[in-house]
Amino acid sequence: MSEENIPSTRGAVDLSALAHHSPQATGTTDSAAASWTTSLDEASFEQFVGLSQSVPAIVSLGSPRVQVSADLDAVLRRLVDAKNGKFVLGVVDAETYPQIAQAFQAQQIPMVVALVKGQPVPLFQGPAAEEQIVQLLGQLEQLAVQQGLGGTVPPLSGTAGNTEPELPPLHQKAVDAIDAGDYAAAEAAYLEALNEKPNDHDAQVGVYQVRLLSRTQNLDLNTSRELAAQNPQEIAAQLDVADLDLIGGHVEDAFARLVSLISKLADDDRERVRRRLIELYAVVGNNDPRVAASRQKLARVLF
């Protein structure tokens, strides 16, 4: 996911030329099963772009005649449908509808782009491992929340028979607060859940995620980077860029920045940065290989 699109969703690609019809989406899966995946043509594009005002709308530009594209679309369809409406997926035959591919300035297929409030957020080009796609969807979900798109939409075809498990009341309260952009209330709900159940891992991670969203909601990426570059010893500036890097998908960069900073600090300052790094580890997921690699580097710095 390109850093220039995070956290801002301003983009240079003009999609208005395609958005001038009143289409009907065409489902691509069995009508008996709920699906948030649809085939797109030029007539159905406007409606699909409109969905990006509610949830991230992912566009896969490829060709069913290219095996890499077909395999990728199958993985994307499964992962998107498993989210039960947090995303929608539009599959485009770029050879049949080249105008759509041109609107995204596609240089090769397959190419996958997300739309957030109508603006493009590039994800990747070429084949991608399922693990990479899962990580990108997680980052896209965080961006959606930051942009106020934390809800779901009804299936594009079929009937929603498999809904997500009901959240504990305090967790649902936190999610509702996040959807409303009230990060303080969300943190309070997660902290209350932790008070009731100190080993509630999901609530603890929720606290860290909400704090990350709250810290970055008013930050400008370019300003923050410039400030950090001009003040390499300024802890707050380095922490801000690490937060923005994480949300932007530059996970290794975020970790490396903080490990390097820790190596130059002592006492309370070192502990302050170490605690922030531990929080970011939890947000990414302690089983993530990037976390494991960074922990090894951190250990060498600390010991």
Tell me what the mean pLDDT of segment 154-182 comes to.
77
Whole-number Å distance between alpha carbons of 255 and 278: 10
Q: Return the pLDDT at 106.
A: 84
Same domain, yes or no: 137 and 57: yes
Which of 225, 205, 223 has its CA nearest to residue 213? 205
Tell me what the mean pLDDT of segment 68-91 comes to.
91
Model confidence band, residue 228 (pLDDT cutoffs 50, 70, 90): very high
Model confidence band, residue 8 (pLDDT cutoffs 50, 70, 90): very low
Given the structure tokens 């301003």, which residue do they identify? 10
Q: What global pTM score does this model have? A: 0.52
* Residue environment code for 120-136, b if the CB has 16+ CB neighbours within 10 A, otherwise e: bbbbbeeebeeeebebb
Model confidence band, residue 197 (pLDDT cutoffs 50, 70, 90): very high
What is the span of the domain harbouring residue 125?
Answer: 3-146
Residue 154 covered by a domain: no
Residue 164 covered by a domain: no
Domain CATH code at residue 283: 1.25.40
Mean pLDDT of the residues in the chain:
83
Model confidence band, residue 164 (pLDDT cutoffs 50, 70, 90): low
pLDDT higher at 17 or 22: 17
Same domain, yes or no: 183 and 54: no
Kindly report, residue by residue over 108-136, the tens digit of the pLDDT.
Answer: 889 999 999 888 889 998 888 888 898 89
Which of 36, 100, 91, 89 has its CA nearest to residue 69? 91
Tell me how far apart the terminal alpha carbons of the chain are, to the nearest angstrom.
Answer: 34
Same domain, yes or no: 174 and 297: yes
Tell me what the mean pLDDT of segment 21-48 comes to.
66
Same domain, yes or no: 117 and 15: yes
Q: Return the pLDDT at 21.
A: 36
Whole-number Å distance between alpha carbons of 45 and 47: 6
Whole-number Å distance between alpha carbons of 291 and 112: 26
DSSP for 244-259?
Answer: HHHHTT-HHHHHHHHH
Tell me what the mean pLDDT of segment 42-69 comes to.
89
Same domain, yes or no: 116 and 241: no
What percent of the chain clears pLDDT 90, i.e. is strictly above it?
40
18: helix, strand or coil: coil
Residue 26 covered by a domain: yes
Q: Is the pLDDT confidence value at 273 over 80?
A: yes
Domain CATH code at residue 46: 3.40.30.10
Contact (Cβ atoms closer than 8 angstroms) between residue 273 and residue 262: yes
User: What residues contact 249, with CB distance under 8 A and at least 6 apart?
Assistant: 1, 3, 6, 135, 136, 139
**How many Cβ atoms are within 10 Å of 23's Cβ, its own excluded?**
16
Tell me what the mean pLDDT of segment 263-283 comes to.
93
| Domain termination residue (choose one: 146, 181, 201) | 146
Contact (Cβ atoms closer than 8 angstroms) between residue 44 and residue 38: yes
Whole-number Å distance between alpha carbons of 283 and 204: 10
Q: Return the pLDDT at 255.
A: 95
Range among 30-39, 42-51, 198-207 with highest mean pLDDT value: 198-207
Given the structure tokens 């494991």, which residue do they identify? 292
Q: How many domains does the chain have?
A: 2
Range among 53-57, 106-110, 163-167 with highest mean pLDDT value: 53-57
Q: Is the pLDDT confidence value at 156 over 50?
A: yes
Tell me what the mean pLDDT of segment 289-293 comes to.
89
Model confidence band, residue 23 (pLDDT cutoffs 50, 70, 90): very low
Q: Return the pLDDT at 159.
A: 55
Model confidence band, residue 239 (pLDDT cutoffs 50, 70, 90): very high
**How many Cβ atoms are within 10 Å of 118's Cβ, its own excluded?**
16
Which of 144, 197, 138 has its CA nearest to residue 169? 197
Q: Return the pLDDT at 111.
A: 92
Model confidence band, residue 59 (pLDDT cutoffs 50, 70, 90): very high
Q: Return the pLDDT at 165.
A: 61
